[in-house]
Amino acid sequence: MSLAFLALLPVAFVMLALARLKMPAHLAGVCMLALSAVLALSAWKANGASVLEAGAEGLFLAFCPVIWVIFCALLTYNMTVETGAMDVIVALLKSVSGDRRILALAISFCFGGFLEAAAGFGTAVAIPAGILAAIGFPPMSAAIICLAANTVPVAFGVMGIPIMTLASVTGLDLGLTSLYAAIQLLPLAIALPVFIVFLASGGVKEAKGAVIPAIASGAAFGVVQVAVAVLAGPELAASAGSIAAFLALIATAKLVGAKPGEPAKGVNAAKALKAASPYIIVMALALAASFWLKFLKSDPFLLRFRFYSGEGGTEQTFAYLSNPGTIFLVAGIAGSLIYGAKPQDMAQALAKTAKQVSRSAIAVATLMMSARIMAHSGMISSLANLMSGAGMAFPILSPVVGALGTFVTGSDTSSNVLFGPLQKETAIQAGLNVSWIAAANASGATIGKMISPQSIAIASSSINIKGGQGELLKKGIKYAAVMALALAGIVLAGSLLLG
């Protein structure tokens, strides 16, 4: 029991450091790394070589592929900003409908979901919130709408990195973990757009007329996300779901007679295609890579390394050609050239991206290194011994743990790194379905995104809300609690069915 409580110290510290001490994430990660290494050496009697090997494995997993994908995805987004392509995309979105409820859905849920899938890093809150405020939504309303919308798409955000990372740190099957996470999120995906309509309308009576398009949009997102996660993998699940949601929204809005929008001035089909070309190329290359790998059965272009030589150590690989980061890099450069990017545009985008990612890279690396040290030293097993006492009640707690991880770190990926191995070990000891419980961490982590201090800061700063962060948090907690309760019921029901 004493070891279990000692194993809680690194996790408890990073939560305290981020939530209460307001310590920057990269510094909190460095401190957590030092603490977990000291505890592994002293309390768990790990030798110095094994701690170094575990840390090296974590560093490799952090850069290949997590940081690489984040960097390339954000670089592509920044290039669309520098070239003006993003302005064209925004103009098209504003022309979608004259109904503010439909616009709110199209911009916050569909476009925001696509941004989360393609770039992440706060873009899915900052850009849609700014657009909503610019077209007449009250700043506070725009912020809370976009915070709520930036939940369900997060699990498969940035080309599936959260799910891929979860499978990596737990050693579970990626396909099954992706499927379970998508299924868990399906009911929330259907309900979320309806909730957004209520927020945009201001009441139940005012929401009438937009509920059917909202349900159709959410159902399209959820069903397509499940299908793509199963058939093609997690990389395109959220982006394909967002596109399907947008198409379903527009189609059903016309059926119910929603007011049409004004055409985007100066934007023709050719210009729109050029502006969207980086993301069109991303989807084409990702699909081609997915089916190519399925045909070959294995990737011939892999870097292979084995870092941890002790019990539980496995070979780590990096698919450098088919990796989503490489795909984003190629598509971003090609798409920007199609739109007419100049060398200085790319240089500015590169410098901006490097600055944005630098501290996050340190945070991701140190968290991942800490997680591997905790896993290989036995600290995670000690924590699992403590939590497995909840037995069949643990499925209720599982998504809450994931949400807590994102609330603290601001990242579904980081939550999976911190708690994925713990969820796996606890499920094993409690006799629960391991992949289902591990997937619940990623699903629950989407809820914590709405109320994480980082997301709230991005939302308030993007539309210049001064002193409104406390109000956003209060509202967000109420909505997040309802979502967490619903997800806990879904996870419990699935756990009882799967055994």
pLDDT at 19 (0 to 100): 66
pLDDT at 464 (0 to 100): 67
pLDDT classification of 265: cutoffs 50, 70, 90: confident
The answer to whether the beta carbons of residues 103 and 135 sit under 8 Å apart is yes
> pLDDT tens digits for 96-106?
888 889 999 99
Which SS3 state, helix, strand or coil, does residue 36 take?
Answer: helix
The more confidently predicted of residues 158 and 180 is 180
CA–CA distance, 108 with 99 (Å, rounded to integer):
14
pLDDT classification of 377: cutoffs 50, 70, 90: very high
Mean pLDDT is lowest, of 43-57, 207-221, 357-371, for 357-371
The more confidently predicted of residues 56 and 264 is 56
> pLDDT tens digits for 171-197?
999 999 999 999 999 999 999 999 999
CA–CA distance, 157 with 114 (Å, rounded to integer):
8
pLDDT classification of 244: cutoffs 50, 70, 90: very high
What does the block give as tokens for 363? 């945070």
What does the block give as tokens for 274? 């050029």
Nearest to 54 by CA among 317, 376, 315, 366: 376
CA–CA distance, 61 with 168 (Å, rounded to integer):
8
What does the block give as tokens for 155? 């699990």
pLDDT at 120 (0 to 100): 78
What does the block give as tokens for 410? 């601001």
What does the block give as tokens for 275? 């502006």
pLDDT at 393 (0 to 100): 85
pLDDT classification of 462: cutoffs 50, 70, 90: low
Q: Which range marks the domain in which residue 308 is found?
A: 2-260+267-498
In angstroms, the first-to-last Cα distance of the chain is 27
| The model scores a pTM over 0.85 | no
Side-chain-side CA neighbours of residue 449 (13 Å): 31
66 pLDDT higher than 90: no
pLDDT classification of 206: cutoffs 50, 70, 90: confident
SS (H, E, C) the chain: CHHHHHHHHHHHHHHHHHHCCCCCHHHHHHHHHHHHHHHHHHCCCCCHHHHHHHHHHHHHHHHHHHHHHHHHHHHHHHHHHHHCHHHHHHHHHHCCECCHHHHHHHHHHHHHHHHHHHCCCCHHHHHHHHHHHHCCCCHHHHHHHHHHHCCHHHHHHHHHHHHHHHHHHHCCCHHHHHHHHHHHHHHHHHHHHHHHHHHHHCCHHHHCCCHHHHHHHHHHHHHHHHHHHHHCCHHHHHHHHHHHHHHHHHHHHHHCCCCECCCCCCCCHHHHHHHHHHHHHHHHHHHHHHHHHHHHCCCCCEEEECCCCCCCCCCEEEECCCCHHHHHHHHHHHHHHHHCCCHHHHHHHHHHHHHHHHHHHHHHHHHHHHHHHHHHHCHHHHHHHHHHHHHHHHHHHHHHHHHHHHHHHCCHHHHHHHHHHHHHHHHHHHCCCHHHHHHHHHHHHHHHHHHCHHHHHHHHHHCCCCCCHHHHHHHHHHHHHHHHHHHHHHHHHHHHHHC
| Cβ partners under 8 Å of residue 369, min gap 6 | 33, 54, 55, 58, 59, 62
11 pLDDT higher than 60: yes
> pLDDT tens digits for 268-327?
889 999 999 998 998 888 888 877 877 777 778 888 999 999 887 888 888 888 888 898
418 pLDDT higher than 60: yes
pLDDT at 203 (0 to 100): 72
Side-chain-side CA neighbours of residue 452 (13 Å): 31
- Cα-based distances in Å from 29 to 54, 161, 378, 492: 16, 19, 20, 32
Q: How many domains does the chain have?
A: 1
Which SS3 state, helix, strand or coil, does residue 463 take?
Answer: coil
Which SS3 state, helix, strand or coil, does residue 55 take?
Answer: helix
CA–CA distance, 104 with 135 (Å, rounded to integer):
10
pLDDT classification of 162: cutoffs 50, 70, 90: very high
